[in-house]
Structure 1
Amino acid sequence: MSGNFTHDFNGAEAQQDAFEPIPAGTLAKVRLTIRPGGVGPEGWVTQSRTSEAQYLNTEAVIVEGPHARRRVYTRIGLRGKGAQGGDDTYANRGRALIRGILESARGIAAKDSSDRARAARTIRGYGDLNGMEFVARIGLEKDRDDPRGPGRNVIAAAIGPEHADYARLMGAAPAQPMPPGPAAPATGGAAPPWAAAQPSQPPAAAGNAPFWAR
């Protein structure tokens, strides 16, 4: 091996930045990756080793901004421990987060109940979430094993197009834009920032549009 070979660590994060949690409430565009747990028809689900709980074991990489390349690990609940058809709070929170991720990634408002919006909130399998980009609000969760420690970051919520900072963080348009529908009647008021920032999209060809937009 050549004696001139070197390893350059100038691009590595400073230690303080690498280990200090991201402040709670920070908004950032992230890319979601699911770590397959081998459970379920597609193998995306992870089974708890200590209970009946099931979840998606996810890693969200911050795409850009001051915290770019930082990773946030979150378990998205699918079934709570001991839940047998009752009120499963763990699963309900997980379903709410998945809905928020779909709305953020596909650029639809939470109050939109149109057929297109309802279709955009559907997936063919959990694998559809893998690689999805959306705007996340970063939270801070205390470590049960170290309650005095700084805690760890999690995805607290997904931010949709109603938020004033959505268009700036997400970019010009969602990664999977919905084809435009009929023009809404003019209200005479100024468009909200997220609506004004997004350029109109040409109608998608039926063969190229994602299944939920056809």
Structure 2
Amino acid sequence: MSVINYVDVEYVDHANPIPDKTIVKVCLTLKQGYCDRLNDGTPLGFPATESTQSGSIYLECEYTVIEGEYHNRKIFDIIGLYSPKGETWATMGRSFIKGILSSARRVSTKDKSHIAQKAFMINSYADLNGLVFLVEVKVERRDGYDPRNRIARVITPDHKDYERLMRDTHNPYRTSNQSPTQAHAEDNDVLDDEIPF
């Protein structure tokens, strides 16, 4: 009878969350849902998740830390695409995605060059799968539950430690005359399934 060998498997302890305000490099994986269009018929290009309670539509995201002390730790969060309560949640989601593209493709959100504009375009939400970028982690404490990590914000090229932390990450989009510290991107608020808007 054959055995299943776990001798060389790395054990990852998720009991203690990553400390608040820690910056980590992550790889994004989108979890497939069953909603492929917004309520106005706009195709998403990737099956998103639709809340049966609120009617909101969002991307369910898994962020895997890919290096450093917290290697292989996972953070779960969502990115809002639509809320029946109004445009605010979707606007936050678009801002968050722009932050992801800025960090992953190392282009300032204020760069108006042709190459930079191309960096902020995606064919569908599926293009977000596999992107590598920096995030700041926060600890969310909930009554009756263990604390958990969420994404506080995306770290974009304006941050003082951005270049050092991203170092060898491939950058096909930055313009040749853009310095490492030139970018100035806005912060992005964390999104939650409890939709206030």
User: Which structure 1 residue ranges, 5 or more long, are not aligned?
Assistant: 185-190, 197-214
CA-to-aligned-CA distance 1:60-89 (integer Å, 9 cap, x gap): 100001000000001111112x23xx4x22
Give the C-alpha shift of residue 110 in structure 1. 2.6
**In the alignment, is residue 178 of structure 1 matched against residue 173 of structure 2?**
yes
Match in the other structure for 2:30: 34
Q: Distance in 1 between matches of 2:101 and 2:60?
A: 17
**In the alignment, is residue 60 of structure 1 matched against residue 63 of structure 2?**
yes
More strand by share: 2
Give the C-alpha shift of residue 49 in structure 1. 1.6
Question: Alignment identity in percent?
Answer: 36
Aligned partner of 1:50 among 45, 49, 53: 53
Q: Distance in 2 between matches of 1:8 and 1:58?
A: 30
Match in the other structure for 1:117: 116
Give the C-alpha shift of residue 171 in structure 1. 2.1
Match in the other structure for 2:149: 153
TM-score, reference length from structure 2: 0.78
| RMSD between superposed Cα atoms in Å | 2.4
Match in the other structure for 2:136: 137
More helix by share: 1
Larger RCO of the pair (alpha carbons < 8 Å, separation 6+): 2
Indicate if the aligned counterparts of 1:34 and 1:44 stay in contact, CA closer than 8 A.
no
**In the alignment, is residue 78 of structure 1 matched against residue 77 of structure 2?**
no
Is the alpha carbon distance of 1:43 and 1:123 closer, same or farther for their aligned partners in structure 2, counting shifts above 3 Å?
closer
**In the alignment, is residue 167 of structure 1 matched against residue 166 of structure 2?**
no
Q: Distance in 1 between matches of 2:149 and 2:109?
A: 25
Partner of 1:44, secondary structure, is strand
TM-score, reference length from structure 1: 0.72
Structure 1 segments of 4 or more deviating over 6 A?
none
User: Which structure 2 residue ranges, 5 or more long, are not aligned?
Assistant: 37-42, 183-197
Give the C-alpha shift of residue 52 in structure 1. 1.4
Partner of 2:89, secondary structure, is helix
CA-to-aligned-CA distance 1:29-63 (integer Å, 9 cap, x gap): 10000001121143431111212100000101000
Match in the other structure for 2:96: 97
- The residue type paired with residue 52 of structure 1 is G
- The residue type paired with residue 48 of structure 1 is S
- The residue type paired with residue 25 of structure 2 is K
Partner of 1:104, secondary structure, is helix
Q: Distance in 1 between matches of 2:9 and 2:126?
A: 36
Range moving further from structure 2, 43-52 or 25-34: 43-52
